[in-house]
A and B are shown apart, each in its own frame.
Chain A
Amino acid sequence: MTATATRPPDAAPPATGGKRAAKRERQGAAWVFLSPWVLGAAVLTLLPMAVSLYLSFTDYDMFDAPRWIGFRNYTQMFTEDPRYWRSVITTLTYVVIAVPLQLLLALAVAIALKSVKRGKGFYRSAFYAPSLLGASMSIALVWRAIFNDGGSVDNLLSGMGIDIGGWINKPGWAILSVALLTIWQFGAPMVIFLAGLQQIPAELYEAAAVDGASWWRQFRSITIPMLSPVLFFNLVLQMIQAFQVFTPAFAVSAGKGGPADSTLVYTLYLYDRGFTASHMGYASAMAWALLLAIGVVTAVLFRTSRAWVFYANDNNEGAR
């Protein structure tokens, strides 16, 4: 990003008149190509962001004009609404369980697949499939059924002498079933890990082997540093996605976030406040708090990444 951003736009060598005209034409052309995006970014991204910030300071129900109430929504959220904190804690619990386990599984399977010769393509696709299917309502409903009281998971566990009962009826367990659905979709980060692993030069491992480095040592000193940019990319992306989980929590709790608000994830509560209870101002405040939280988490990740993300060659034009 810095490479692109700091390039002075007019740094090209002084051009003759003809070249300059051609350059102007290219400039104009660029804006034509960019026009749908510019319109979308202005009208459907920037403007809504500003409006939602404004609405977060108002009382608004979609019918009457918004009424300015200052920080009232925010103070209510942070100090008078136990369900809000409930949703924050539920979401954090889910993120902290689902994201690390999902990435760990993705990394382990990617490393295993790297050394597979026969059937690699098959495994790669088969493990990836749940990442596409898992986002659907259909699979969320399957989850609800197999984690229900008397469902497959309950049957299997009680057969092994572990008596939990239906996960989705038990506060504390219900959100775990949602987390498991996310972990089940480890295929997408796995594919990215695998592609990253294949770009690590084999000479590094050969040299390390000659020096007598153990498997673990090679893993720690070659694989992890060389893979760290990809690891970082996966971590940021999966984290941001996890903060916005909605469909499985909706399905598991029939849209209500139960039992005892234990699956009331942040976005489900936001939906409830904004679209069921018609408190659009309050929901906007929640949306802005989420935006800031994701911004802070991402910034912290970027900050700490300097310590552990290793870029082997910084010569190509950076995109991020």
Chain B
Amino acid sequence: MTTAPITTAPAARRRPTGRIVLHICLIAMLLVMLYPLAWLLATSFKPADEVIASLKLLPSHFEWGNYSTALDGVNEVSVGRLLWNSLLIACGAVLGNVISCSLAAYAFARLRFRMRGPLFAFMIATIMLPHHAILIPQYIIFNQLGMVNTYWPMILPKFLATDAFFVFLIVQFMRGLPRELEEAARIDGCGPFRSFFSVILPLTRPALITTAIFTFIWTWNDFFTQLIYLFEPEKFTLTLALRSFVDASSQSAFGPMFAMSVFALLPIVLFFLAFQRFLVEGMASSGLKG
């Protein structure tokens, strides 16, 4: 931040030296921030005796064995299986959230009905509700239904629009669409269902994509829920399998542990690289308007 007390701010910013200093500061900051990620990648290739030794990122030779050990998995469950389990949960959650949240959002954003105000206020309030306040009874419910140690506790709530954040996100987006669209559709004889599927939903695609990507990443990363509901190693996700390393972390397991961590992060990194525009703009729009 350049402090130019007398000159006007825009003029100060146009000075080339100030601009270069700003870029240098930002890049320096980025490098510091990226260090943990670089460290993770480097360590996954390091032989056991070099893991902790120094600040140096590059290993003396690349230890591919870490990856083959990691591929064997944990507790005799292969990485392929863990990956599949993680994918199953994440994709189920995405499907559930996109369907149920867009339905609820359409009602809140575009339809008039009794109790709309109070229900909307309640929906917003649940964004702030700490998960732990409902955790134990939810666990009891799923236990009664025989769903503990299955993936249903991770997927079923998503089909019931329990992630109010996304309902809110889609509401915000739908409110920005012009009213005339539906009025035109109504004159053409469309009921609310036709206008939803044929007019509003296609136009809401950016918000739906944002919802899908965020749901995928958050579900993929979620540790707490999986920790509580899954106990059979066969059913573990990648995130949960990493936990086994937490309990017994001898130095020799470091390389394979971080190789496994790379597997667990890879989908998020790929999603991020592919969809960063939706993610950044989705996050930005959630804090604006309203």
The chain A residues found within 8 Å of chain B, CB to CB, are: 1, 4-7, 9, 12, 23, 25-27, 29-34, 36-37, 39-41, 43-45, 47-49, 51-52, 55, 62, 108-109, 111-113, 115-116, 119, 123-133, 135-139, 141-146, 148, 150-152, 155-156, 159, 184, 188, 191-192, 194-196, 199, 205-206, 209, 212, 214-216, 218, 230, 233-234, 236-237, 240, 243-244, 246-247, 250-251, 254-255, 267, 270-271, 274-275, 280, 283-284, 286-288, 290-291, 294, 298, 316-320
Query: What are 14 A-B pairs with beta-carbon distances under 8 A?
Result: A40-B157, A51-B140, A111-B1, A116-B22, A116-B26, A135-B221, A136-B264, A137-B239, A145-B39, A159-B55, A243-B130, A291-B129, A319-B120, A319-B168
A253 to B186, alpha carbons, bound, how many Å? 60
What's the minimum C-beta distance from B241 to chain A, rounded to whole angstroms?
9
Inter-chain contacts of A43 with B (CB < 8 A): 141, 160
- Write out, one digit per residue, whether chain B residues 38-82 have a CB within 8 A of any chain A CB (1) or not (0): 011001000000011111000000000000000000000000000
Q: A27-B114, A148-B52, A155-B55 are in contact. Are A283 and B136 (CB under 8 A)?
A: yes
Inter-chain contacts of B83 with A (CB < 8 A): none
Inter-chain contacts of B133 with A (CB < 8 A): 48-49, 52, 287-288, 290-291
A49 to B132, alpha carbons, bound, how many Å? 10
- Write out, one digit per residue, whether chain B residues 111-143 have a CB within 8 A of any chain A CB (1) or not (0): 111111111111110101111111111101101
Q: Which residue of A lies closest to B103 (CB)?
A: A33
A34 to B161, alpha carbons, bound, how many Å? 9
What's the minimum C-beta distance from A72 to chain B, rounded to whole angstroms?
17
Q: A33-B196, A128-B279 are in contact. Are A9 and B130 (CB under 8 A)?
A: no
A152 to B29, alpha carbons, bound, how many Å? 17
What's the minimum C-beta distance from A218 to chain B, rounded to whole angstroms?
6
A132 interface neighbour in B134, B242, B272, B288, Cβ under 8 Å? B272
B6 at the interface (CB under 8 A from A): yes
B180 at the interface (CB under 8 A from A): no
B17 at the interface (CB under 8 A from A): no
The chain B residues found within 8 Å of chain A, CB to CB, are: 1, 3-6, 8-10, 12-13, 19, 22-23, 25-26, 29-30, 33-37, 39-40, 43, 51-55, 99-100, 103-104, 106-108, 111-124, 126, 128-138, 140-141, 143, 157, 159-162, 167-168, 171-172, 175, 191-193, 196, 217-218, 220-221, 223-224, 227-228, 239, 242-243, 245-247, 249, 254, 257-258, 261-262, 264-265, 268-269, 272, 276, 279-280, 283-290
Q: A5-B118, A37-B160, A137-B239 are in contact. Are A294 and B107 (CB under 8 A)?
A: no
A104 to B161, alpha carbons, bound, how many Å? 33
Q: A44-B160, A108-B1, A215-B5 are in contact. Are A29 and B111 (CB under 8 A)?
A: yes
Inter-chain contacts of B279 with A (CB < 8 A): 128, 132
| Most chain A CB inside 10 Å of its own CB: which residue of B55, B130, B239 | B130
A115 interface neighbour in B22, B134, B254, Cβ under 8 Å? B22
| Most chain B CB inside 10 Å of its own CB: which residue of A133, A194, A318 | A133
Main secondary structure of the interface of B (DSSP, over half): helix
B254 touches A145 (CB 8 A): yes
A284 to B133, alpha carbons, bound, how many Å? 7
Q: A1-B121, A128-B280 are in contact. Are A34 and B130 (CB under 8 A)?
A: no
Q: Which residue of B lies closest to A274 (CB)?
A: B136
A41 interface neighbour in B122, B128, B269, Cβ under 8 Å? B122
A9 to B119, alpha carbons, bound, how many Å? 13
A124 to B282, alpha carbons, bound, how many Å? 13
A142 touches B8 (CB 8 A): no
What's the minimum C-beta distance from A194 to chain B, rounded to whole angstroms?
7
Inter-chain contacts of B193 with A (CB < 8 A): 29, 32
B126 interface neighbour in A33, A45, A192, Cβ under 8 Å? A45
| Most chain B CB inside 10 Å of its own CB: which residue of A5, A23, A195, A270 | A195
